[in-house]
């Protein structure tokens, strides 16, 4: 499931950091860490903690450092004295009077420079500060993912209710077309026997065979059982993706069987029966796509 979370922290007064985490759906746990070059040792520890607290997903973790380093201004006195001496010698040589402009001298490249005092001492304590934020950050990420999961579970329950309703309607319509099939069978037999009367026993025997082949009561019972189990597993929670996908495969098998058995239905309800079978398969396929994102 998708999610995003970020936290800020600090190491004394010299360094602050932002730790962010983003996740998208993935079959396994796929970690991608983006850390400053000086944090190789920290990366190993972060990976270990993330594996302990996360189960699956494409996870991107980013650490950004903000240094508040002390800055010192350094004056290169030897270079400045050399410029002043050169100025005075040039003034004597050309008969020019006056003193050098100190402001102009200080703007000469190399006379003054700035140097950051930030060093290894500022990094001390960074690893511990970052690692202390891993568990809270994962918890914050999971809060958003849990909200998405609840919405997804509600959608899946709705799919199961629609699926069961389709099956029940198909069973009702199937019962309604049996008389039409019986009359169709009688006419077909009369046509094949060229008007020779067919015994009622023979007709009933053929009708029984036809009814047995097209009976979907067993599939309806199994479909109802799978739907109830599916909803119960959603309410139990836990790692559900693979188990729910297996149940959906079973549901798809029942839908295929029901559609196959009712493909020869006759009468005005035959088109609706076919539509219901196709709607069942579409609903199952939609649920299979959604369940891949469920943890």
Domain CATH number, residue 34:
3.30.230
Is 198 found in the same domain as 112?
Answer: no
Domain CATH number, residue 195:
1.20.120
Is 261 found in the same domain as 169?
Answer: yes
Is 245 found in the same domain as 233?
Answer: yes
Q: Give the residue with greater pLDDT, 161 vs 179.
A: 161
Is 229 found in the same domain as 201?
Answer: yes
Q: Domain range spanning residue 237?
A: 146-291
Residue 290 pLDDT: 83
For residue range 39-82, list pLDDT tens digits in order: 888 899 999 999 999 888 889 999 988 876 555 678 888 888 88
Q: Is residue 139 part of a domain?
A: no
Q: Is residue 161 part of a domain?
A: yes
- The answer to whether 21 and 59 have CB atoms below 8 angstroms apart is yes
Q: Is residue 140 part of a domain?
A: no
Nearest CA among 22, 11, 16 for reference residue 50: 22
Contacts with 112 (C-beta within 8 Å, 6 or more apart), sequence order: 73, 74, 75, 76, 106
Q: Is residue 138 part of a domain?
A: no
Report the C-alpha gap between 210 and 204 in whole angstroms. Answer: 10
Is 183 found in the same domain as 273?
Answer: yes
237 falls in which pLDDT band (50, 70, 90)? confident
Looking at beta carbons, which pairs linking 175-179 to residues 24 or more positions away fall under 8 Å?
176/267, 176/269, 177/265, 177/266, 177/267, 177/269, 177/270, 177/273, 178/211
Q: Give the residue with greater pLDDT, 283 vs 97.
A: 283
For residue range 183-218, list pLDDT tens digits in order: 666 666 666 566 556 566 655 565 555 555 556 778
Residue 293 has pLDDT above 60, yes or no: yes
What share of the chain in percent tops pLDDT 70? 75
Residue 118 pLDDT: 47
Is 163 found in the same domain as 51?
Answer: no
Residue 69 pLDDT: 54
Q: Is residue 227 part of a domain?
A: yes
Lowest mean pLDDT among 101-115, 158-172, 208-222: 208-222
Is 103 found in the same domain as 47?
Answer: no
Residue 96 pLDDT: 81
Residue 257 pLDDT: 85
Q: Is residue 286 part of a domain?
A: yes
Residue 260 has pLDDT above 70, yes or no: yes
Is 77 found in the same domain as 55?
Answer: no
Is 87 found in the same domain as 42?
Answer: no
What share of the chain in percent tops pLDDT 90? 21
Report the C-alpha gap between 6 and 68 in whole angstroms. Answer: 21
Is 260 found in the same domain as 204?
Answer: yes
Is 250 found in the same domain as 276?
Answer: yes
Residue 168 pLDDT: 85
> pTM value?
0.56
Is 160 found in the same domain as 104?
Answer: no
Domain count for the chain, please give it. Answer: 3
Q: Is residue 137 part of a domain?
A: no
Q: Is residue 141 part of a domain?
A: no
Residue 121 pLDDT: 38
């Amino acid at each position: 499931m998708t999610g995003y979370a970020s936290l800020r922290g600090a190491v004394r007064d010299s360094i602050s950091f932002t730790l962010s985490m983003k996740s998208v759906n993935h079959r396994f746990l796929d970690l991608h860490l983006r850390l400053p070059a000086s944090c190789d040792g920290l990366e190993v520890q972060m990976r270990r903690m993330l594996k302990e607290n996360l189960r699956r997903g494409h996870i991107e973790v980013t650490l950004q450092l903000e240094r508040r380093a002390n800055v010192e201004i350094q004056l290169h006195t030897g270079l400045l004295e050399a410029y002043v001496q050169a100025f005075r010698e040039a003034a004597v040589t050309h008969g020019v009077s006056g003193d050098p402009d100190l402001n102009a001298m200080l703007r000469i490249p190399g006379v003054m420079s700035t140097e950051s005092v930030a060093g290894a001492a500022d990094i001390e304590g960074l690893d511990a500060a970052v690692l202390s934020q891993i568990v809270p950050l994962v918890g914050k990420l999971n809060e958003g993912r849990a909200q998405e999961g609840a919405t997804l579970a509600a959608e899946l329950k709705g799919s199961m209710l629609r699926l069961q309703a389709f099956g029940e309607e198909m069973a009702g319509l199937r019962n309604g077309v049996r008389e039409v099939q019986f009359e169709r069978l009688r006419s077909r037999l009369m046509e094949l026997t060229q008007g020779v009367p067919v015994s009622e026993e023979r007709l009933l025997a053929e009708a029984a065979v036809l009814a047995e082949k097209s009976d979907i009561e067993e599939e309806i019972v199994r479909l109802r059982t799978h739907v109830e189990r599916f909803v119960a597993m959603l309410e139990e929670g836990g790692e559900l993706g693979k188990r729910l996908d297996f149940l959906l495969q079973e549901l798809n098998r029942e839908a295929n069987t029901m559609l196959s058995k009712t493909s020869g239905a006759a009468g005005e309800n035959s088109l609706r029966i076919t539509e219901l079978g196709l709607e069942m398969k579409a609903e199952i396929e939609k649920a299979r796509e959604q369940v891949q994102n469920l943890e």
